[in-house]
Structure 1
Amino acid sequence: MLGCGHGLPGIYMYLEGASAVHFQDFNAEVEQHAPLATNELKSNIPAEVRFFSGDWSEVHKLLPHVWEKENPKSSDSSSEGEPCAGYDIILMAETVYSISSLQTLYELTKKCLSRPHGGIYMAAKKHYFGVGGGSRQFVATVENDGVMASSLIAEVADGSSNVREVWKFSFK
């Protein structure tokens, strides 16, 4: 889970049977202040829960499931019979608020997503007022690259706050 914050979506995935959930946030303090449920997960469920902190431009060096092929634009899977590297599912929430970080975040997802069947789910505001980012700017970054397909899963517009969207991205 990139930009995990409190990590609730990752905790949910874990409770639903994920064999491994890796939480990433820029701030190392997140692990120390994560909800008590996260620490209970580490001790009560026989699967892998790990925390990583760092900038999106460097954190792939720490993550255990990173795509290792030289050509990240290739959606080919590894040789037949060999498992693909990468994460099956990447969850992101409220990570696309800064225009200057969109390309770095996108490059990280390409390095970390399993090929050819992995999926990225991003929940975000359509526009982050005052900082210029938003879900549509990230979608444009993905579409300009031409490597991944994008589809809008849900849009929440309650009339009293900013429109929020959930997007899915996967390799073409």
Structure 2
Amino acid sequence: MIFQLGCSHGLPGIFACLEGAAAIHFQDFNAEVLQCLTIPNVNSNVPSFQRPALQVTKCDAGMEIHFFAGDWREIHKLLPYAQNIDVSTGKGLDAQYDIILMAETVYSISAVAHLYELIKMCITPSHGVVYMAAKKHYFGVSGGTRRFLSIVEKDGVLASSMVAEVGDGSSNVREDQTLSLFFLFLFFNLLPCGCGHQFGHLPLIWRIKYCNRN
């Protein structure tokens, strides 16, 4: 089961759909983004999906696709696998998301703590992993991978590793915390998109998972 946070056009989740994922959940702060961008892109790229509404849809192939709109502080109340929380650790007792995908989600210093708590509620402790692509620093809003990863390190529950650092020699470098070629593929926008949107280069990729796992 895959969860894309801050999905916007939804390209990573769409790629996962095309690769045979059993269930994909898309989340964005604005319902309008899901209705005007994400859902049309899913319609354009995923065979047998034709449902322009914020609800669970079963494709002919048996895939579950679901769209959620809301703030990271409250969205867990809507998610089917992040409602039963261990108050002492913040972990989701029913968490079943195998993979969480997110790009450019750590730009706001005021939101990264809520994002981190949501991640702990959602990922499966035994094998869940988060794939994050973002810049080291976002000027003007003070967020970035450094600020987010400092929260991860201080909490001590999850651990991160960098997979790739991509730069053009002049712009702000983005970091990608643990991704495979699969994730690099979708983040570098090699997937056709109904709206013709281009992500452009994404400088840093990271992988985040529970500390007691190799």
- The TM-score with structure 2 as length reference comes to 0.72
RMSD between aligned residues: 2.0
Shift of 1:30: 1.4
Distance in 2 of aligned mates of 1:16 and 1:155 = 25
- One-letter amino acid of the counterpart of residue 70, structure 2: G
Cα deviation digits, residues 51-87 of structure 1 (max 9, x gap): 1000000000111122635256388x97xxxxx6320
Give, in angstroms, the shift of residue 137 of structure 1.
0.7
Whether the 8 Å contact between 1:87 and 1:112 is mirrored in structure 2 is: yes
* Amino acid corresponding to residue 15 of structure 2 in structure 1: Y
SS in 1 for 2:5: coil
**Equivalents in 1 of 2:90, 2:10: separation in Å?**
31
* Structure 2 counterpart of 1:17, from 17, 20, 25: 20
Provide the TM-score with structure 1 as the length reference: 0.88
Q: Distance in 2 between matches of 1:7 and 1:68?
A: 27
Q: Which runs of 4+ in 1 moved over 4 A?
A: none
Measured after TM superposition, the shift of residue 160 of structure 1 is 2.9
In 2 relative to 1, CA 72–92 (structure 1 residues): closer, same or farther, beyond 3 Å? farther
Matched, 1:119 2:129: yes
Unaligned runs of 5+ in 1: 79-83
**Residues 67, 86 of structure 1: 8 Å contact kept:** no
Instruction: Give the Cα separation in 2 of the matches to 1:97 and 1:133.
Output: 4
Correspondence list, 1:1-172, <5 A: 1-34=4-37, 36-40=40-44, 41=46, 42-43=49-50, 45-66=61-82, 68-71=84-87, 73=89, 85-165=95-175, 166-172=205-211
State how many pairs are aligned. 166
2:10·2:41 contact (CA, 8 Å) conserved in 1? Answer: no
**1:92–1:3 distance in 2 versus 1, CA, 3 Å:** same
Identify the range of structure 1 (65-74 vs 90-99) with the bigger mean alpha-carbon deviation.
65-74
- Once the two structures are aligned, what percentage of the paired residues are identical? 57
Any stretches of 5+ residues in structure 2 without a counterpart? 51-58, 176-204
Distance 1:59 1:69, change over 3 A: closer
Asked whether the equivalents of residues 86 and 111 of structure 1 are also in contact (C-alpha less than 8 Å), the reply is no
Whether the 8 Å CA contact 2:90–2:120 is kept in 1: the answer is: no
Structure 1 distance, partners of 2:145, 2:37, is 26
